[in-house]
Structures are given as C-alpha cells and as structure tokens.
Chain A
Amino acid sequence: MRRRFRRLFRHPPVRPDQLDRELDDEIASHLAARAEQLERLGMTADEARAEALRRFGDPVTARQRLAATAAHRGSRMRARERSEELRIVTTGLSHDLRVAARTLRLHPTFAIAVVATLGLAIAAAVTAFSFVDAMFLRPLPAPNADRLAHVYLPRHDGRLTAVGSAGAALLRTRSDIFASVAAERCCWVKFVRERGKLDQRYAAFVSSQFFPMLGVAPRLGRFFLPQETATAGTEPVAVISYALWQRVFAGDPSVLGEDINVTTPPPGRNFTIIGVAPEGFDGIGIGATRTEIWLPTTMAGTVGIGCTPAIPCDDDGDALARLAPGVSIARAQLGIANLGAELSRLAIGDDSVRRPVVVRATGASVATQREYSPLARLLGAIAGLLLIIACANLSGLLIVRGMSRAREIALRLSLGAQRLRIARQLLVESGLLALLGGALGVSLSLWTSRQLMSFFISDSEGFETYFHAGLDARILWFALAISLASTLVFGLLPALVAARAQPADVLKSGSSGSGRARPRFELIAVQVALTSVLLSSAILLSRSFSHLLHAQRFESDHVALFRVRPAAATYDTLRSEQYVRAVSDRVAALPGVERVAFARGSGLTWGTSPTEVGVGTSSGDSTHRSDAHFVSPRFFETLKIPVMGREFSDGDIAGTPLVAIVDESLARTLFPGGNALGNTIYAGRKPFHIVGIVPDYRVREAHEAAPPMAFFAFWQNAFGPERDARFAVRVHGDPSRMLGILRLTVHDIDPDVPVAEVMTLSRQMDASYPQIRLGQNVLLASGSLALILSAIGLYGMIAFLVTRRTRDIGLRIALGALPIRVAGELIGGGMKATALGVAAGLVGAWSLSRLLSTWLVGVTPHDIMAYAGAALAVTAAALIACAIPAARAAAIDPAVALRVE
C-alpha cells in the first residue's frame, strides 16, 4: 500500500546527506551478510570479514565510486522531480483540462446529468450556508466590522442577558478596552402620527454612539449628540429612516424640525425630527423588523417602553462596543471580568457575580440566533445528506463510466502512460464537472435562497423583517470549497479504481471491463439509506404540520384578516364602538364578502390571549385559569367552527344577561357530569350563562401548554369596554385578492385609525409556525430530490449492467433461459442493495428522529406511518428504476446480441 501511494504521489527527493548515510548503511549490511555466508562455508570470523571486504572491491575506490554514482542518481532524480512537478502543474494541467472539456463535449448527456445532480446538491448546500451566513456569520454593515462586539451577562440557564444602557455607560469608562460603546434597544411597535396621519412604526432606542460606531452618515440633518442621550426624559428628538422619509414625507427636505407624535401611552408625546438615516439602513437586527424611527435610549421611559413614565427607565439595552486598537476579544473579556458584579447589579438587579462575555457582533441578535439554531442545524444536515447522496450517485456514475472507458485506460497504461497521469486526468475531469456544477449551484441558490428567506420576510403580524441573503464573498468561497471537496469525494474513488486496473486483465477480457471494477451497489445502498432518512423525516414533519392544520378544526381558506386599533388613535369608548360597527357593516356590504366577524385577543384563533380570567362554578371560585376571548356575533360561523348550543347574537349587548361560550376542555373540567350547556360559570365574580360549547380548536405547538378557552360577547363589555378588534372576513374565492379592497375600504371609513395585519389567514398560520412550515417544505423538496437521484443512480447501474452483459444475456436466452428470469435477477441485484439501504436508513432515521421532536405536533418521532411511507416510496422508486433496464434485458434478441463485437 505504501509503495502504491509512493508511486502515485512520487516519493520526495532524497537529500545528499541522507543519501550518504543510506549508502553506508547498505554497504555495512552487505558486508555483514557476505561475512556470514563465508563463515557458514567454514571461515573464521576474521577471515570472513577480510574476504567480504576484498570481494566488495578496491578498498579505496569502491566506496568513492559508489558514492559518486549514488550522488549522481540523487541529483538527477531531484532535477527530474522538479521539472516533472513543473510540467505536471503547467502543461499537464492545461492539457488535461482541454482533454476533459473535449471528453465532456463528446458525452453531453453524461455531462449534463452530472452537472445537474451536482448543481442541485450544491444549490442546497449554498442555500443552507446563506441562511447560516445571514443568521450567524455576516459581519455588521459597518467599516472594520470585525472590531465590533456585544457584551452580555451569561445567565445560569445559558441565556445571555443584555447589560443595558447603564451597563453600556459603565463599559464606556474602560476606554483602554473599548474605543466606543453604544446602547441599542430594538424594535418596538409604536403608534406615531406624522403630518396628521396615524400609523404603526417600528422604533429602536439608541445612544449617541450608535450611528458613528456603524460608520453611518445622515442623509439629512444630524444624528444624536452625546448630551441628547445622557439624561432620562429630557430630549425628545428623533431620526427617521430613508424609507419612511420617502413614503410618508415624500422626500421633503423641510422634514427637519417637524414634530411627530407618539400617541401611546396617552396623552402621547411629540418628538422633533433632527435627521434622516441613509438609504438602505434599516438597523442592524438581522431577522428583526426593519427600524423606521430611532429615538434616544433615554426617552424609552417616556413612551411606555419597559417601565412607567414615573420611573426613568434605561435598562435592557444591548451594548454594542468597538474594541480599542490592539485589544482582542479575549483581552477585552479578561479586562472587564471585574465589572461583572456591577454590570449584573445594573442589568439584572441582583449582584451575583457574573463574568461578562464579549462576543463578536455578527449575524442576528443572540436571541434570534438561539431561536433559529435548531433550524440552521436541520438545514445544514439536510444539505450535507443531499451532498453525500449526490456524491455517492456521481461516484457510481463515474465508476460505471470508468468501466466503459476501461479499455481506453488500459491501452494508455500499456502504452506507458503513468497511472498518476491517468488518475489525474480523471480528477481534472471531475474537477471541471464540479466547477460547472458549482456555478450552476450558485445560480440556482440565488433563487432557492430567496424562496427560503420568503418564509422570513414578514412576521405573523405582517411586519417586514430585515433579512438579507444576497451573495457575498464568503458564500462564493464556500461554494468553491464545497465543489472541490465533492470532486475529491466523488472523483477519487473512480480515479483509484482506474489507477489500479491491470491493463492485461482489461485488454484480455474484451470490452466488458476488468474483473475487479464492478458496479458499486454499496454506493446505491448508501444513497438509498440517506434518502430514506430524508423522506421519513419529511413525512414526519408533513404529518406534524397537517396535524396542526387539522387540530385547528376551522377552515382557514377563503379568510382575509385585518386589525384596527381605534385605541391607538386615542378614541374614547363610544367613538371606538361606533367605528368598529361601521367597519363591520361596510365590509359586510362589500361584494364577494360572505361573513364578517371580529374579536379581541392577541392572535385571532391561536396563541395565548393577553387576557386570562379565573373561571369557576360558584361566585367565590375562580380557580380555573382560562384564556379570555371577546368575540363578535357570527364569529364561529365565519370560521366554520361547529357550536353546540348557540353562538353570540346581535342581541347579546350590554345590559342583557351575561352569556359565555366555553371550549370542550373547560366544559369537561368544570362540569365533569357533562351538563355544561345551560349551566352558569363565574368569572370576575360575575355569573355567565353558558349558551354554547365549541371544540378545542386552537392550534398550538407540541410543547405549548394549552389553557382552556372561555369566550365572552364582544358587545356585552363584561370586563370593560372593548375597542380594538381583529377582523376575519370570509370571502368567495381567493382571499388575497380582497386585501387591497379591504384596506382601502377600512381606511376610507376613518383615515385616522391605523389598519394593520392585512393578510390572509393561511399566511398568518404559515408565519406563526415558520420553522415547522419551512422544515416541512425543505425536507419534502430535498426528500423528493434525493428519491430522484437514487432512482437515477440505480437506473444507471442496472442499465450499464445490461449493456455490459448484452452478449451474455443473449447467450443465456438463446440457451433457453426464460427472459423473465433474467430480468428478475437484474431487479433482484438492485433491490438487494435497496433493501439494505432502506433498512439502514430507517434505523438511522429512527434514532435521529429525536432531533425533530421540537417541531413535532401530534405525531410521535416514532410514527410508524412515516417510516412505512418512506420505505414504500423508496422501494417503489427503486423498483421502477430497476424494472426499465431489466425489461430491456428481457427483450434482448439472442441473434442480435451474439453478433455484438
């Protein structure tokens, strides 16, 4: 083996001093052997030694001459080595490339199959990497971004807590470690009136160091001065984003000095616009909502963020620091170790000594990274599996092709071509294919990355998130590296097989190839195994998502949503009520609208309601915590949720006897006897008559605890006046086509009330469970791709076997073998590999399925259906892939076959 390697990669040239030493060693060894021989013949030890020396040759010149020859050999071989290396790298390579290009042009089908296979797998890998890159690796959009870092306090559970703006101020005193420290609190929804119009905006609170640290220059005006972010509550100034400036202020330069009003909490507060951020700067929170307004950190308390206006509130900000010149992350961390206790007192309130950590600022926020790391791992694993499948497939294809080229290779070998040269030629060919595949992969990934990111461009409330997955140098390097790595993986095995072939065997055995090179069914088994893993996981997640959809027990198609918040416009109860009624009436009158209903609660039909009530069966008892939902008449009818009893009607208004509807689990808990309907429950010490029972319809994730639900009539205002409302509109046809009309209509009723969350119910469902939805889509796509690849691989091998054994098969049929038997044998070979692969794959999937369990709803990780389904699909695909060439074998006409060659 060593020898073979040395031959393949050429042994390194021997250095002169080593040559001398080896020479002496060899002479000594020879003299000893000769003397021993002579002693055996009867000489004494001394005689034997003398005779051995004599026979070796002239005592003076023999060694010298030998040394000269050896040195000559050494220098010649070294020179040859060097020129050979040079030649291999220059002329050889370009020659090999030309030959490879020609070979591929001559076999376009083969080339296309390989490039497509590789392109798809590389696209998957690049897409997964783009996600990881955007989420974890990409530096912040700032000059010298590698000098930026976050400072956190690690909690006992491993979570990282921000040190807050007070913490940031403390860190700022260590100017030997940090050149600058900024505080940033990202992404709060605020209702803002600009030029008389009210709308919701995402606001961030930043300290004066924020913009300069990121190297951002204002498009207009200026950013915050140090004194504007120094004292709590005294500097009502604001910076707006370029997008907002264009959209709302039409790019008007006189916007500087204008006031905008943050309406909540009442009575609201005016801020003066002092600057406009440059185009494209939406904040730094990747995966977070795009920032539209920046306010000083010191003003957070005055607009109800975190604490009451009475208590100046400047905690809970992220500290973003620029390291002082020459200070490394590790040194910074060491340098602030003694600040841990004080930082922890400022940020958390207790002074348990903690060691602050300094983390390079890349990608999304630490919390977002934490949330998405399982998904990133899943994507990475899928991409890896696909790449292995593709490589196994290509390896098989190349070996099969190598066998058909065995004669050519054997001929070249026997004509004196070096094995290394031939192996290299094959590697160059694979390399060329890999580069073409890589180029295709990168192009494809532009599209697939966009598809992937489309799951993230907006959240479940319709806010646009800041996600940017364009190509960058890191992604291109990754693509190149992975292309070359896969070349080694799929190209090396065939190259070694070719290099090992004994030319005599091949040439003797005719066109059928050497006995040692045979189709590698183990490669098929590997592919099939990995495909089974992907497919069964895909089916598991699909079943989970469809369970989620079924568990909801309502019809989400044909439903459009929007949300109105008259409270943000600081309307009083009466005006709000009038407004909600007006919206309901006007929307119901629109053509194409079937039903209109509305409710209050965060999330129309799922999620935890912000209002919890204690419910019991007597006035003193309120021990059963339930989510309270305040729903309009015809709410259940609109969502097509069956109600036992009746639902709320237009008659259930303030002053009439209080009514309630409960879900099945609450009914069962409160009235184990099953007589809930018509009974009375108490909530907030008020009696409610139960008029209806609905199924437990709410969607929830597996690990979510599900509190029971109690429904109260919107217009009875049993716990206080209801004002804000989420509307559900059942329409004929595609709900997405109604969204524009709905927005216009509602806006028209009162332009002052912000309208939000205008989207379809299905879109909101998807956005609520992006990880499951995305995982399911990605797994299904990659599972199908893997299935196709494995089938192609199997087809290729069986087809090749048939071609190779045409004569053989023809002979057997001529001798009376049943064609069906011949076909059966071929299919049997393929299916044996498949069965092995499926078995291994299912065992693997079974043991890996734990990893998916966080996303599984209503399906156990060991769901038999998923495994059976995957096994069935893979087996069926393999059967088809084998059957086609096998049928061709059975149809071989012996007379024709025997004339071959």
Chain B
Amino acid sequence: MNDAMPVLKGNLDMLVLKALSWGEMHGFEILEWLEQRSASRLDIDDSAVYQALHRLEERELIDAEWGVSDKNRRVRFYRLTAAGRAQLRADTDRWAEYAELLLGIMRGSRKPA
C-alpha cells in the first residue's frame, strides 16, 4: 500500500453517491467498492463512510432500509433517491469541469491570456 491520500468530506459524499449509482449497497459494500476502485489508495476511516451515509440520508439524497446481506447478515441497505441521482450528475459535471480547469492550469498546455 503506497502513500494513501486523504479525502475531503464533500468529496467522500460524492464518491458514496457514485458507488450507489451502481445499485443498492450496504455500508461495507460501499467501502469494498471504494477500495477496489482506488486500489486502496484512499485514506478513509471506515466510520467516515457511515458519517457520509448519515449526511446524505439527512439531505434525502439517499434512502435506507434494513435488509439481509448475501452473507446472511442484518445490514442497512442504501440506495439513491431521484434527488441523489440529480445531485450526482451535477457533482460529476462540476468536478469534471473543475478538474479539467485545474489540470489545464497545472500542466500549462495553454498559455494564460
């Protein structure tokens, strides 16, 4: 595991929304998904993901329901609401733009006007 990167609160929320855009998941599944996608390079406390889930639920971007996992464990499943889906779209666009802008500046591919 090489140098893990910390994740900002707002960004973690976005990542959790992204994870849930693939379908209903419980908390540990979301963590697994994040670890897989980032090759475990993100430095996230497991509890932080749950914090994020509570925040998102409060904003009604996700919906939660108790259920039973594949491993027969009682878990809380989360899924996107319509508002969550819209939020994810907006976040993605905003991020792409933001990242492109920053990258453009940092790599200096274009001379400043």
Contacts and interface: CB of A to CB of B under 8 A. Distances in A.
B54 A63 contact: no
Contacts, number: 75
Interface in A7-63: 7, 22, 25-27, 29-30, 32-34, 36-37, 52, 55-58, 62-63
A77 B56 CA distance: 12
A69 B75 contact: no
A69 B46 contact: no
A852 interface: no
A76 interface: yes
A7 B26 CA distance: 19
A29 B67 CA distance: 12
Given A66-B54, A69-B55, A56 B71 contact: no
Nearest to B76: A26
A29 B72 CA distance: 11
Interface stretch (B14-22, B57-65, B90-98, B102-110): B57-65
B76 A73 contact: no
A3 B79 CA distance: 11
B75 A26 contact: yes
Interface in B16-45: 26-28, 31-32, 45
A25 to B, nearest CB: 7
Contact of B28 (A30, A58, A77): A30
Given A29-B74, A33-B73, A76 B47 contact: no
A412 interface: no
A22 B27 CA distance: 13
B58 A30 contact: no
A69 B54 contact: yes
A22 B45 contact: no
B46 A34 contact: yes
A65 interface: yes
Contacts of B55: 69, 73
Given A3-B65, A73-B57, A77-B58, A30 B51 contact: no
A27 B46 CA distance: 10
Contacts of B76: 22, 25-26, 29
B47 A26 contact: no
Given A3-B65, A30-B28, A66-B47, A73 B74 contact: no
Contacts of B58: 72-73, 76-77
B32 to A, nearest CB: 8
A57 B75 contact: no
Nearest to B28: A33
Chain B interface size, under 10 / 10 to 19 / 20 to 34 / 35 or more: 20 to 34
Interface in A593-613: none
A25 B46 contact: no
Contacts of A65: 47, 51
A839 interface: no
Contacts of B71: 33, 36
Contacts of A66: 47, 50-51, 54
A30 B53 CA distance: 13
Nearest to B66: A22
B99 interface: no
B48 A3 contact: no
Nearest to B77: A3
B51 A29 contact: no
A58 B65 CA distance: 27
A6 B81 CA distance: 13
Nearest to A7: B63
Contacts of A58: 45
B59 to A, nearest CB: 9
A475 interface: no
Contacts of B86: 416
A69 B28 contact: no
A411 to B, nearest CB: 14
B50 A29 contact: no
Given A22-B66, A33-B71, 17 more contacts: A7-B63, A25-B76, A26-B76, A29-B28, A30-B28, A30-B50, A32-B73, A33-B73, A37-B32, A55-B46, A56-B46, A57-B45, A58-B45, A66-B51, A66-B54, A69-B54, A416-B86
14 contacts: A3-B63, A22-B66, A25-B74, A29-B27, A29-B69, A29-B76, A30-B46, A33-B28, A33-B73, A36-B71, A37-B32, A56-B47, A72-B54, A416-B83
Interface of A: 2-3, 6-7, 22, 25-27, 29-30, 32-34, 36-37, 52, 55-58, 62-63, 65-66, 69-70, 72-73, 76-77, 416
CB-based closest 8 A-B pairs: A57-B45, A73-B58, A57-B47, A62-B47, A33-B28, A56-B46, A69-B54, A73-B54
